[in-house]
């Protein structure tokens, strides 16, 4: 038995030694019989068609609030709405409200002190940041609102260093006149409006989307609270409550222009310019089982757009879900429903936009349910509101380059 065990151990050691050098190296061979190949497809500018359309611009979700006239854009007013939550504190008989202020902030140090920016108040709902359209809000009549007058303008300077540094400008309105309307918990809405009226002035304020916290539009409530009034010695707390804005937006007066001129494509947030592109590509454009390595649509800006300010204009591409049959080019709401997937975005550089269509075109190759009925290009929310972009459809360098592999 001992000898058998010895033999077995020798055998196992032999196996282990043999496989200590166990290696796996690819064998160099001729694989020319494997018919995988790479190829390209080029679609030139003559086959790329597009048209513009205009919608009411998205008025919510900006990180700034605009009031007045700037660069041909007319913002008739900005609206603020405060939540109904939290006001019940001030109904209690032990609480006495001393003063209320509405504060908004700006990064502009040049806002004049004798500012004629007017604040209006209403207990009506007026707007919904997500759902209201521009058409519902362009003709607001402030005569029925409470006019709260002009603000106290205060430029905040950081003096902690030897060099004074501008921080922000605050605009403050006293709300004592409407304190009962604010505190009254039976009122469901607390809506404010900022407007210059017919004045040519302009102000840019921080909205609630700008950052979280201190620079949001807010109402500061200063009040006293009597602690335990039944006792002989009355204790009074002096307190402050801050209520931040829950919804805000700016109302822009839209200008409808002739937009399909000079075979140019316009994209603008504030104007609501968008475009639909059609490129001849379907499931048979590439061999079966092809996988696209890249598919880049290159569009060139018009010469007058290649300035420094547009170095990083971000454009989003969304494939269309259904085709619509309309001759109209101006819409209140965007009628071109998008797929919600296979979207992409790109940023202009050196007067050129190169936007990837790889995911969209690959899905057309693979899935029968997705047809190429075009895609829309529009401005990303990250762009400056006042920037716009135009492409020259006649530019012969416009092209779609597809690099793919097929089995």
Partner 1 sequence: MFLLDRLLIIVLLISICFSQGPTNGYGIGSLQQWSSASAGGNSSLGMIPSYRSHVSLSNPTTWSNLKFTFLSIGYNGFESTMKNNSKNGYSNLQSAQLIIPIKRKHALGVELHPYSYQKVDLLDSLNSELIIFGDSVSMAKEYKQAGGIMAFNLSAASLILPKTSIGVTFQLLFGSSRQSNNLNIDEIPYTLSSRLNFSGINALLFAEHKFNAINLYFKSKLSIKPLEALSTQLYPYFDENKNGYHDLVYDYLNPGYDFPEPNDVPSPSTKRLTDIHKPSSFGVGVSRIFLDRLQLSLELERNKDNSSFENEMPNSFNNRIINSDHFSLGLVWFPYEKSFQLFNNFTFRSGFSVNSYTLDEFNNVSLMRSDDKNNISEIGFSLGFGYKFKTVGNQIDFTYHSSLKDHSNSYIGEELFRGFQIGISIADIWFIKRRQR
- Binding site residues, partner 1, CB under 8 A: 1, 3-5, 7-8, 11-12, 14-16, 18-19, 21-36, 38, 40, 42, 289, 291, 293, 358-359, 362-363, 366-367, 401, 403, 405, 407
Shortest Å distance, C-beta 371 to partner 1: 16
Residue 224's DSSP bridge partners are 96, 238
Pick the closer one to partner 1 by CB: 33 or 186: 33
Q: Which residue, 16 or 135, is less far from partner 1 as judged by CB?
A: 16
What six digits make up the tokens of 72?
Answer: 């041909």
| Smallest separation, CB 400 to partner 1 (Å) | 11
Of the candidates 165, 148, 147, the residue with the CA atom closest to the CA atom of residue 156? 165
**Three-state secondary-structure class, residue 319:** strand
Cα dihedral sign for 287, 291, 294, 300?
A: positive
Rounded least distance, CB 14 to partner 1, Å? 6
Min dist. Cβ of residue 287 to partner 1 (A) = 11
Nearest CB to partner 1, comparing residues 147 and 296: 296
Q: How far is the CB of 397 from partner 1 (least distance, A)?
A: 13
CB of 47 to partner 1, least distance (A): 17
* Tokens 């170095």 sit on residue: 311
Cα dihedral 389, 393, 395, 398, rounded to 10, equals: 90
Number of residues that make up the chain: 407
Short-list 121, 246, 109, 216, CA closest to 174: 121
Write down the residue that tokens 């809000």 correspond to. Answer: 137
Smallest distance, partner 1 to C-beta of residue 48, A: 16
- Nearer to partner 1 by Cβ, of 275 and 290: the residue is 290
Smallest distance, partner 1 to C-beta of residue 359, A: 7
Q: Which is nearer to partner 1, 11 or 213 (CB)?
A: 11
Between 6 and 166, CB nearer to partner 1? 6
In this structure, what is the dihedral angle of CA atoms 152, 157, 158, 159, given to the nearest 10 degrees? -120
Residue 164 CB, shortest distance to partner 1, in Å, is 45
**Closer residue to partner 1 in complex, CB, 260/354:** 354
* Rounded least distance, CB 20 to partner 1, Å: 9
Q: Give the residue with the Cβ less far from partner 1, 31 or 327.
A: 31
Three-state DSSP class for residue 98: strand
304: which DSSP letter?
G
Cβ closest to partner 1, residue 95 vs residue 366:
366
Q: How far apart are the C-alpha atoms of 111 and 196, rounded to whole Å?
A: 13
| Pairing of β 273-278 and β 49-55 | antiparallel
Name the residue nearer to partner 1 (CB basis): 384 or 401. 401
The backbone torsions φ and ψ at residue 358, rounded to the nearest 5 degrees and listed phi first, read -55, -50
DSSP letters of 33-74? Answer: TS--EEEEEEEEGGG-EEEEEEEPPP-BS-SEEEEEEETTEE
DSSP states along 156-199: EEE-SSSS-EEEEEEEEEE-GGGHHHHH-TT---EEEEEE-TT-
| Residue 12 tokens, joined | 């196992």
Dihedral of CA 329/330/332/333: which sign? positive
């Amino acid at each position: 038995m001992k000898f058998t065990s010895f033999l077995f151990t020798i055998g196992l050691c032999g196996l282990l030694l043999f496989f200590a050098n166990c290696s796996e190296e690819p064998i160099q061979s001729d694989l020319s019989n494997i018919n995988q190949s790479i190829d390209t497809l080029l679609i030139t500018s003559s086959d790329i068609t597009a048209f513009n359309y205009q919608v009411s611009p998205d008025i919510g979700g900006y990180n700034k609030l605009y009031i007045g006239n700037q660069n041909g854009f007319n913002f008739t007013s900005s609206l603020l709405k405060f939540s109904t939550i939290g006001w019940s504190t001030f109904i209690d008989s032990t609480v006495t409200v001393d003063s209320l202020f509405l504060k908004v902030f700006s990064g502009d140090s040049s806002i004049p002190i004798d500012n004629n920016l007017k604040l209006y108040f209403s207990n009506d709902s007026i707007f919904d940041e997500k759902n209201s359209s521009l058409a519902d809000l362009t003709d607001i009549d402030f005569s029925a609102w409470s006019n709260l007058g002009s603000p106290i303008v205060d430029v905040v300077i950081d003096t902690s260093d030897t060099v004074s540094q501008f921080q922000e400008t605050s605009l403050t309105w006293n709300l004592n006149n409407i304190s009962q309307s604010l505190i009254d918990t039976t009122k469901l809405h607390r809506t404010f409006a900022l407007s210059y009226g017919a004045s040519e002035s302009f102000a840019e304020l921080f909205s609630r989307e700008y950052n979280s916290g201190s620079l949001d539009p807010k109402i500061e409530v200063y009040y006293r609270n009597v602690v335990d009034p039944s006792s002989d010695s009355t204790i009074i707390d002096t307190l402050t409550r801050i209520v931040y804005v829950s919804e805000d937006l700016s109302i822009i007066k839209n200008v409808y222009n002739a937009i399909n001129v000079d075979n140019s494509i316009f994209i603008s947030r504030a104007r609501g310019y968008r475009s639909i592109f059609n490129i001849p590509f379907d499931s048979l454009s590439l061999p079966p089982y092809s996988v696209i390595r890249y598919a880049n649509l290159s569009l060139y800006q018009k010469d007058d757009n290649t300035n420094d300010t547009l170095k990083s204009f971000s454009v989003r591409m969304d494939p269309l879900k259904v085709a619509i049959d309309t001759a109209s080019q101006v819409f209140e709401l965007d009628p071109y429903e998008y797929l919600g997937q296979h979207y992409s975005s790109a940023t202009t550089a050196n007067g050129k936009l190169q936007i990837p269509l790889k995911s969209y075109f690959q899905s057309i190759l693979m899935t029968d349910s997705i047809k190429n009925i075009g895609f829309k290009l529009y401005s990303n929310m990250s762009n400056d509101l006042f920037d716009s972009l135009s492409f020259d459809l006649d530019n012969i360098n416009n092209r779609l380059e597809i690099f793919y592999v097929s089995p």
